[in-house]
C-alpha cells in the first residue's frame, strides 16, 4: 500500500529500501506482539504441544507444556508487512502469499488435530502428502505458464534444461513439498530451524533482487524475470518475523513454531527458489534441511531392511543429542553452518 506513495516519497519506489523496512517492521510486529500472543496461546492450549514418544527422554519434561502454533506470529507479521510495503499489482506477490498461507493452513490443521487428540503424529503422512502435492502441482503449473519451465544450473554459464510442462509440474512439486517437509523435520530443538530459515531468506532475497534487475542479471548471467524483485519485501519480512520469533524461541523456548510455521516457511522458500530459477542453489543454501530430511529417509530405509540403525536417532540433531551434546551446542553449530551455506549460495551468483 505504501508503495503507491512513491510519487510523494521516491524512496518507497526502491525495492532495497522497502526490503530493509520490511525486515525492521516485521521484526517489530513479531517481537511486540509476541508476549500477548504467547499468553493467548497458553490460555487456549492447556497441555501445549504433544511431545513425541520415541524422541529424547528429556524432551518429555523440559519441553512439555510449551504452546505450539507460534508460526502464526510469523505469518501475520509477514502478511501485514508485505501488504504495507509491496507493490500489490505484481502477481508474484500474491502467488507467494497464497503458497505461504496454503501450506501454513495444512500445518495449522495438523497442529489443531495434535492438540485435540494429544497425539504427536497428527494427521496421517499420506493425507498431508496428498494435500501438499496437489498444492505444489497447482503452484508449479502457474509458475511454469508465467515464467517458463527451464532449470538453470549453478557454475554452468550456458547450460539450461528446458522441461515439458508436465515434467516441470512434477519437478516443482518435489521442490516445494521437499522443502516443506525438510524444514518441518529440522524443527526439533529450540531455535534450530528458525535461524537457518532466516539466513535462507536473506540469501534468496539477494538472489531475487538480482534476478529482477535487468542489468545485474545480465552481468551475472542469471535469468531475468521482470518484477520478481518485489519478492525481496516478502523475504525481508520473513527475515524480520523470524528474528522476532527467535526472541521467544531460543532455549528454553517459550513457544514452538509448530507445523503451522515450518510448513509455511519451507513452502515459501521452495516456491521462491522455483520462481527465481535457483532451485539447485536453494539446495545448497538449505543444505541443513536437506541433510536432516535425508537422515530420516536413510534411517527408515536401512532399518526396514536390516532392523539396524545408522544413526542413534533421526533426524540428525537427535543423533547428536544421543551422543551427549548439549542442545545449545547443537543449535549454535547448526547456526554457524547455516551462515556458511548462505555465503556459499551467494557465491554461486558469481562462480559461473
DSSP 246-279: HHHHSSSPS---HHHHHHHHHHHHHHHHHHTT-H
Domain encompassing residue 186: 2-347
The reply to whether 135 falls in a domain is yes
Q: Which residues have a Cβ under 8 Å from the Cβ of 205 and sit 6 or more positions away? A: 19, 231, 232, 235, 236, 239
How many domains is the chain built from? 1
The reply to whether 316 falls in a domain is yes
The reply to whether 352 falls in a domain is no
pTM to 2 decimals? 0.93
Name the DSSP letter for residue 162: E
| Amino acid 233: pLDDT | 97
The reply to whether 250 falls in a domain is yes
The reply to whether 32 falls in a domain is yes
- Quick one: cell of 217? 542479471
pLDDT-flagged residues of the chain (< 70): 1-9, 47-63, 121, 352
| Amino acid 60: pLDDT | 58
Q: Tell which residue, 197, 146, 198, has the closest CA to residue 172.
A: 146
| Amino acid 100: pLDDT | 97
| Amino acid 266: pLDDT | 97
The reply to whether 318 falls in a domain is yes
For 109-142, write each residue's pLDDT tens digit.
Answer: 999 988 888 777 677 888 899 999 999 999 999 9
For 229-238, write each residue's pLDDT tens digit.
Answer: 999 999 999 9
The Cα 53–Cα 334 span in angstroms is: 24
| Amino acid 124: pLDDT | 80
Amino acid at each position: 500500500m505504501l508503495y503507491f506513495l512513491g510519487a510523494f516519497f521516491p524512496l518507497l519506489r526502491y525495492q532495497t529500501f522497502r526490503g530493509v523496512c520490511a525486515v525492521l517492521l516485521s521484526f517489530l510486529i513479531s517481537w511486540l506482539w509476541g508476549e500477548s500472543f504467547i499468553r493467548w496461546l497458553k490460555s487456549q492450549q492447556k497441555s501445549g504441544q504433544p511431545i513425541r514418544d520415541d524422541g529424547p527422554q528429556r524432551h518429555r519434561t523440559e519441553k512439555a507444556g510449551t504452546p505450539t502454533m507460534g508460526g502464526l506470529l510469523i505469518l501475520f507479521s509477514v502478511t501485514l508487512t508485505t501488504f504495507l510495503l509491496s507493490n500489490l499489482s505484481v502477481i508474484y506477490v500474491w502467488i507467494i502469499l497464497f503458497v505461504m498461507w496454503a501450506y501454513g493452513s495444512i500445518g495449522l490443521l495438523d497442529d489443531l488435530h495434535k492438540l485435540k487428540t494429544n497425539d504427536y503424529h497428527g494427521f496421517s503422512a499420506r493425507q498431508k502428502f496428498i494435500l501438499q502435492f496437489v498444492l505444489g502441482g497447482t503452484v508449479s503449473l502457474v509458475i511454469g505458464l508465467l515464467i517458463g519451465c527451464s532449470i538453470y544450473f549453478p557454475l554452468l554459464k550456458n547450460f539450461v534444461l528446458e522441461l515439458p510442462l508436465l515434467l516441470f509440474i512434477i519437478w516443482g512439486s518435489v521442490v516445494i513439498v521437499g522443502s516443506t517437509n525438510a524444514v518441518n523435520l529440522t524443527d526439533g530443538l529450540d531455535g534450530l530451524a528458525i535461524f537457518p530459515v532466516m539466513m535462507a531468506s536473506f540469501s534468496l532475497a539477494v538472489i531475487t533482487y538480482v534476478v529482477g534487475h535487468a542489468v545485474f542479471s545480465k552481468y551475472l548471467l542469471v535469468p531475468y524475470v521482470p518484477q520478481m524483485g518485489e519478492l525481496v519485501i516478502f523475504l525481508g519480512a520473513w527475515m524480520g518475523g523470524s528474528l522476532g520469533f527467535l526472541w521467544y524461541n531460543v532455549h528454553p523456548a517459550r513457544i514452538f513454531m509448530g507445523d503451522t510455521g515450518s510448513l509455511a516457511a519451507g513452502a515459501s522458500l521452495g516456491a521462491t527458489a522455483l520462481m527465481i530459477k535457483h532451485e539447485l542453489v536453494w539446495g545448497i543454501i538449505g543444505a541443513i534441511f536437506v541433510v536432516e530430511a535425508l537422515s530420516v529417509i536413510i534411517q527408515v530405509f536401512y532399518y526396514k531392511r536390516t532392523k539396524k540403525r545408522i544413526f542413534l536417532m533421526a533426524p540428525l540433531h537427535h543423533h547428536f543429542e544421543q551422543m551427549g551434546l548439549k542442545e545449545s551446542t547443537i543449535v549454535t553449530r547448526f547456526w554457524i553452518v547455516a551462515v556458511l551455506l548462505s555465503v556459499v549460495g551467494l557465491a554461486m551468483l558469481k562462480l559461473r
